[in-house]
Chains A and B, each alone.
Chain A
């Protein structure tokens, strides 16, 4: 857990903070099924995370993976997780009361101007951090449009919660099984054409995010993007998630970045790297 312990002074007289980043193990308090192979894991812990930040979740004896925070208050926080690989398969075998480890929160967060009109654009389970951000934005008087797209109706998440929170909800599915048939960018463009949107905030597959970026440029709108890269340390040391040609670590200077910075990431929408540092093209 990242905790500032004390300020220390070093040779130059400049003070710096010391911290510790080992997993804190806590029991799973609740598991809420969200959609096909997607569940929300609830933990009783005051994480003090901002929307868009992530934690490294350690499944003891298995693996540790980064997950963005789907909701957080003084009492508890939520992680909405899809069963997509060996680590999450093991996680889905765990029960309420089983212990997992948490490090973080890490990274940058979504931010909007108070009382502004914002569009949240999520793809698949990328909606989770956007939901949390929407709640915070709503508290600050924002008018929240919640746009989400998925392959089919079974993979849509956070629709009911978003409606309950008072967001303007619209959705697309690739097969037309819910909402409009097609990609989420179609309804985003309609929105940008008809309403004055102060900022867009997106999280989802990188190809979708790239399409959102193009629209934000076309309509000259502020955009924050949550960029995903393979991460290890979470605190900007191992270099695993550094992007070309900026060379900056996404775990620290991201995941949430303004579109101006993302446009300088040459590899965005083109390739990412596997856990050995090899390029994998989209």
Chain B
């Protein structure tokens, strides 16, 4: 019985990958999530020259949802290089480097710089809903823009695979996914946060998040994210990192049955603690045992068969 997962030729000890934006500021913190049982990690999105995030509050949470507008703070490429080294010193688990920029030209620049530090995968955050005031609609909400972005980044990434992180906040995610595949994406991360949403404090009659709006994640979005993975999986041949509201082994198995190869886990850290990765893989193993399944790969995309 094995949870070992092959993703684009890279071996993950289990299909879980820490989602971008959670516990991803430092190499040590990323490595700590591996010690807590994740198969691989995604960094917080990296900018060429760094970026200031939004003032606090940046994250709030309730029973079924979390809402964040951290605003992509980052220390830039030099810091990233340093943190990669710290991470590699502490663990052998695959490292997915998330990148973000304001223009296609800058995306290309950061990808070019970053491949020198040998991440296992580059995830292109083209879908953050929290910086719209600054940069306008995310690339992943415009089929032509995301197609051009994918093609340009792919040109410079050589042998390092790229995964485009899609937005669920679009009319037709299938066409966008298909276009990314056509433009050279090696994989797709499905999906970023929903919304953005809004939460008002009635005593002060003000939005709580400093950015007013924030991307919605957490258990409440799970069925919506799952449907996105299902739709994309039906449409493309390239592997999918299924992410959005996964908090249990059962959720992770559903993602895989809907077609995901890897399963992103993020806000579940809030709901079940820092050892949530171990909890989820234990629950998955328990399922495999009960159903006498020797390899998790047998379940991939089974819903489509």
CB-based contact A243/B269 at 8 Å: no
In the complex the two chains form, what is the Cα distance from A103 to B75 in whole Å?
27
Question: Cβ of B75: which chain A residues have Cβ within 8 Å of it?
Answer: 276-278
Q: Of residues B22, B56, B208, which shows the largest number of chain A Cβ atoms within 10 Å of its Cβ? A: B56
CB-based contact A25/B56 at 8 Å: no
As a 0/1 sequence over residues 97 to 137 of chain A, the CB contacts with chain B under 8 angstroms (1 = contact) are 00101010000000000000000000000000000000000
Answer whether residue B135 sits at the interface, using C-beta atoms and an 8 A cutoff: no
Size bracket of the A interface: 35 or more
Answer whether residue A180 sits at the interface, using C-beta atoms and an 8 A cutoff: no
Question: Cβ of B271: which chain A residues have Cβ within 8 Å of it?
Answer: 16, 18
Q: Which of B28, B56, B201 contacts A246 (CB 8 A)?
A: B28
Q: Of residues B204, B249, B253, which shows the largest number of chain A Cβ atoms within 10 Å of its Cβ? A: B204
Answer whether residue A258 sits at the interface, using C-beta atoms and an 8 A cutoff: no
CB-based contact B59/A238 at 8 Å: yes
In the complex the two chains form, what is the Cα distance from A99 to B60 in whole Å?
18
Nearest A-chain residue to B253, judged by Cβ? A11
Residues A11 and B53 in contact in the complex (CB < 8 Å), given A245-B28, A277-B26: no
Interface segment among B156-164, B279-287, B294-302: the answer is B279-287
Answer whether residue A45 sits at the interface, using C-beta atoms and an 8 A cutoff: no
In the complex the two chains form, what is the Cα distance from A144 to B61 in whole Å?
39
CB-based contact A99/B204 at 8 Å: yes
Q: Of residues A22, A56, A62, A246, which shows the largest number of chain B Cβ atoms within 10 Å of its Cβ? A: A22
CB-based contact A5/B63 at 8 Å: yes
Residues A25 and B204 in contact in the complex (CB < 8 Å), given A18-B63, A246-B32: yes
Answer whether residue A171 sits at the interface, using C-beta atoms and an 8 A cutoff: no
22 contacts between A and B (CB under 8 A): A12-B248, A19-B61, A20-B61, A21-B61, A22-B61, A22-B201, A23-B201, A23-B208, A25-B201, A58-B57, A63-B210, A64-B56, A103-B60, A237-B270, A238-B59, A238-B70, A244-B86, A247-B29, A247-B35, A249-B274, A275-B73, A277-B75
Closest 4 CB pairs of A and B: A247-B32, A11-B250, A247-B28, A242-B29
Could you tell me which A residues sit within 8 Å of B by CB distance? 5, 10-12, 14, 16, 18-23, 25-26, 56, 58, 60-65, 99, 101, 103, 232-233, 235-240, 242-249, 252, 273, 275-279
Could you tell me which B residues sit within 8 Å of A by CB distance? 21-33, 35, 44, 50-53, 55-64, 66, 68, 70, 73-75, 79, 86, 90, 199, 201, 203-204, 206, 208, 210, 247-251, 253, 266-267, 269-274, 279, 282-283, 286-287
